[in-house]
Amino acid sequence: MKKNCCIIIRSICFMLIFVGLLYYFSYVLTVRNVERYPVRNAFWQTYDAEEDNSIDALFVGDSSIFHSINPMQIWRDKKITTYNLSYAVMKPQEAYFDLKRAFKTQSPKTVFVESQFMVETESDGFDYFTDNTKEIAGFINDQIGGTLDNLFPIMKYKKSWKNLTFSDFVTNHPNKIRSIYKGYNLTMKTVSYNGTHGKKSKDRACFADEGEIYFKKIYNLCKRNNCNVVLLNMPQGNAWNKNMHNLVAKLAKEYNIKYYDFDMNLNKWLPNFSWKTDTRDAGHHLNYSGAKKVTGLMEKYMVEDLGFKPSKVSESVRKQWNRDVNDFYQVADFLKAREMTKDNPEFPEPLKPDFLPPKF
């Protein structure tokens, strides 16, 4: 009996230590220097730096939206506070858990969901899965796996493990870092797209990564927080087509929500957009020029179609956002000039190097 008690106590101690280490390593990977490492959730440090209940709209999705929507432009033009709560290869379950955390400090009026991350064509999936095994694999990988990733972020930060140094474990990392980007990824690089616009596959569109299930969770979460949901699609060279659009349009109709597809309506809505000058990597993502055009149209719809008004924020928040906008456009002008001249001059004072765009 005594031996069994010792075994139980040792097992409990081992599990406590193991779980404690998981939490600690997750913490280290979550709060490390966002400018130095490509940590996918590093935006929490900058998001948490925003004053509570000062953000009126959140943009959620993968890299297609954090290259396309510039919150600083929206503030400059319309005085509306927004934040781009997005990162590369975001999955629907990550968006759901991230929004749960985001609502703890902010009360946005609207969450804009970029739907490309939850839709695919049948040819994009795994052919060797039957319908039943797809459901089982999806449940294990996306629902169970997504919950574990949320509890222990170390499990989804594999690419950052190799960058760990001893100082990361002994240095006090800031929990909050003021950012002038608000989640937007600023890049002046231009690589034109010369192919045909639109995904060529004629296969039936379907939801990816339990997208339909987690969109329902996102919708219900937003409604519990008195927040509207709007679906979006950003321009993409060859990643979107009519079948995918129709699937999302059907989803929007089912939930009676707005849906703005900037890709399918690109020529009609943005006739001045050019795949020659407005993409950073041959059609996959937009550069600063492309984002400027898309953000300009987005803010127009926000005001004229969705009824957004200038954000009611405190005087201190207003002044801080005005300073951020001023710093942002100083950085943008500097990077634009450097890209045009191909020179590499010193970064201008008084802006600090930390203000340079994070490399995701």
Q: Which two structure tokens, joined as six digits, stand for 346?
A: 């010193």
Buried b (16+ CB within 10 A) or exposed e, 162-200: eeeeeebeeeeeeeebebbbbbbbbbbebeebeeebbbe
Q: If we measure between CA atoms, which residue out of 192, 158, 182, 194 comes closest to residue 25? A: 158
As given in the structure block, the two tokens for residue 72 are 């600083």
CATH number at residue 191: 3.40.50.1110
- Token pair listed for 68: 């396309």
pLDDT in single tens digits along all 360 residues of the chain: 666 677 777 777 777 776 666 666 656 655 554 444 444 446 788 899 999 999 999 999 999 999 999 999 999 999 999 999 998 888 898 899 999 999 999 999 999 999 999 998 766 554 444 444 444 444 444 455 555 555 555 555 555 555 666 566 555 666 788 889 999 999 999 999 998 888 777 788 888 878 899 999 999 999 999 999 999 999 988 889 999 999 999 999 999 999 999 999 999 999 999 999 999 999 999 999 999 999 999 999 999 999 999 999 999 999 999 999 999 998 898 888 777 666 665 655 545 444 555 443
Domain that residue 314 falls in: 40-129+172-355
Binning the chain into helix, strand and coil, the percentages to the nearest 5 are: 50, 10, 40
Please, what is the angle between helix 315-341 and helix 71-78, to 10°?
120
pTM: 0.80
Helix axes 71-78, 288-304, angle to 10 degrees: 50
Alpha-carbon span 155 to 301, nearest angstrom: 39
Does residue 79 sit within a domain? yes
Q: How far apart are CA 251 and CA 215, in angstroms?
A: 9
Does residue 68 lie in a domain region? Answer: yes
Q: Is residue 165 part of a domain?
A: no
Nearest residue to 158 (alpha-carbon basis) of 52, 274, 29:
29
Is residue 161 situated within a structural domain? no
> How many domains, in total, are found in the chain?
1
Q: What are phi and psi of 286, to 5 degrees?
A: -90, 155
For the chain, strand residue ranges (E) read: 57-61, 82-86, 110-114, 119-121, 205-207, 228-233, 259-261
Assigned domain for 57 exists? yes
Q: Determine, yes or no, domain membership for 328.
A: yes
Confirm whether 317 is domain-assigned.
yes
DSSP 99: H
Sign of the alpha-carbon torsion through 318, 322, 328, 329: positive
In a domain, 304, yes or no: yes
